[in-house]
């Protein structure tokens, strides 16, 4: 398998770099680098810039307004965006719901919802997890009961990322409580402004309300907002999760983080010498870089397979586990490199309301360390992923 880039792919990388240099505002990349919240407006502005270029829905087919990039192009774009400290593309409408509607949605749903994902009229959030249904998602209890031309929804969702900004939510609901767990679930599209919906923020370790609880009290949802067939939602949920875990290894973010650690270690000192020359620190830094290089090679192998039309298998779980471990290691090493200046933490700094204590690069260190403890939990916890790997590879 040839893992080197072709001349065309190298040219595409240069095109992406030129676009980012021209269109990514410095004040935006500085905020991303410093860990300052962009808010809804900041994300909307970057989405609009990408949409104008035709690069927002880079994985969508052209018939739906996408760029229809192959897996290698997507990998290059995401890697360069991470290295340039561009805002992350909010995935819920583009990378999760969009592919589901394109494959399972009705023509009316495609015509109505897909353009609104692209133009920013709809900001989507994901209604999957519940207080008693996280890794065991199939045990969800939120009910949807048919009442004429509506479903009446009651229940609770949790860990709803950026739900405070969303005006629509796609939900898994139980429509047949008598069926086996996976067989009684349906996939509904719900307007967040419908009476009976309440959003309550959950403040995370880094002091931000990034996730939320969403409560449904007799919420009436039109039947035409059912995606596909009733009680077939588990099929659509699994399809969506394959897109949620795309590029979950976060190679580009790890590379950017590793570069930042090296810069800091050349500035900070230990024993009168630059920290990067400290044998213990340098050894740990080298181990992370070796692990990252190995993971990047594995990631490229999977990208190459995807470009050839092969679906990723258990390797996605392997990348998820290793990728999150590496990113958390980088966060911890950065915290140690900054030293005492990494200890103070003011959540106001994330909102850009006060200056960091110490050097500029100290500002986001504590927040990133705290926030990224979640990496080994979301998208399927690392414990669950290890179980999948054992079952597939060792017949457990």
User: Which residues are tagged catalytic?
Assistant: 244
**Residues ≥6 apart with Cβ < 8 Å to 317:** 380, 385, 386, 388, 389
Token pair belonging to 381: 């916890």
Q: What sign for the dihedral angle of Cα 338, 341, 342, 343?
A: positive
Q: What is the 3-state secondary structure (H, E, C) of 326-390?
A: HHHHHHHHHHHHHHHHHCCCCHHHHHCCCCCCCCHHHCCHHHHHHHHHHHHCCCCCHHHHHHHHH
Alpha carbon distance 110, 268 (integer Å): 54
d(CA 250, CA 324): 8
- Of the candidates 379, 387, 383, the one whose C-alpha atom is nearest the C-alpha of residue 137 is 379
Task: State the helix-helix crossing angle for 71-83 and 279-307, rounded to 10 degrees.
Answer: 150
């Amino acid at each position: 398998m040839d893992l080197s880039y072709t001349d065309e792919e190298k040219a595409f990388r240069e095109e992406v770099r030129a676009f980012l240099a021209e269109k990514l505002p410095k004040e935006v990349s500085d905020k991303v680098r410093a860990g300052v919240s962009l808010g809804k407006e900041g994300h909307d502005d970057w989405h609009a810039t990408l949409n104008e270029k035709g690069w927002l829905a880079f994985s969508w087919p052209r018939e739906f307004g996408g760029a229809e990039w192959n897996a290698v192009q997507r990998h290059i774009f995401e890697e360069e965006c991470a290295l340039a400290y561009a805002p992350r593309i909010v995935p819920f409408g583009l990378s999760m719901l969009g592919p589901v509607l394109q494959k399972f949605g009705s023509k009316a749903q495609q015509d109505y919802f897909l353009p609104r994902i692209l133009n920013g009229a709809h900001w989507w959030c994901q209604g999957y997890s519940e207080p008693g249904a996280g890794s065991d998602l199939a045990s969800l209890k939120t009910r949807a009961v048919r009442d004429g031309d509506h479903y009446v929804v009651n229940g609770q969702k949790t860990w709803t990322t950026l739900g405070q900004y969303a005006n629509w939510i796609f939900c898994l609901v139980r429509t047949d409580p008598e069926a086996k767990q996976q067989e009684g679930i349906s996939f509904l599209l719900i307007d967040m402004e419908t009476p009976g919906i309440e959003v309550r923020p959950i403040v995370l370790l880094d002091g931000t309300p990034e996730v939320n609880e969403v409560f449904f009290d007799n919420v009436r949802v039109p039947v035409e907002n059912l995606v596909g067939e009733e009680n077939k939602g588990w099929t659509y949920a699994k399809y969506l999760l394959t897109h949620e875990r795309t590029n979950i290894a976060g190679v580009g973010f790890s590379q950017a983080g590793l570069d930042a650690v090296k810069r800091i270690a050349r500035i900070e000192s230990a024993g009168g010498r630059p920290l990067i020359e400290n044998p213990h620190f340098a050894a740990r830094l080298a181990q992370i870089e070796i692990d990252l290089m190995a993971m990047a090679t594995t990631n490229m192998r999977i990208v190459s397979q995807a470009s050839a039309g092969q679906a990723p298998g258990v390797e996605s779980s392997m990348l998820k586990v290793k990728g999150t471990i590496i990113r958390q290691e980088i966060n911890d090493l950065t915290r140690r490199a900054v030293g005492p200046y990494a200890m103070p933490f003011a959540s106001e700094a994330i909102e850009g309301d006060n200056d960091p204590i110490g050097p500029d690069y100290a500002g986001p260190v504590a927040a990133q360390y705290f926030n990224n403890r979640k990496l080994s939990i979301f998208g399927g916890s690392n414990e669950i992923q290890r179980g999948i790997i054992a079952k597939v590879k060792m017949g457990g």
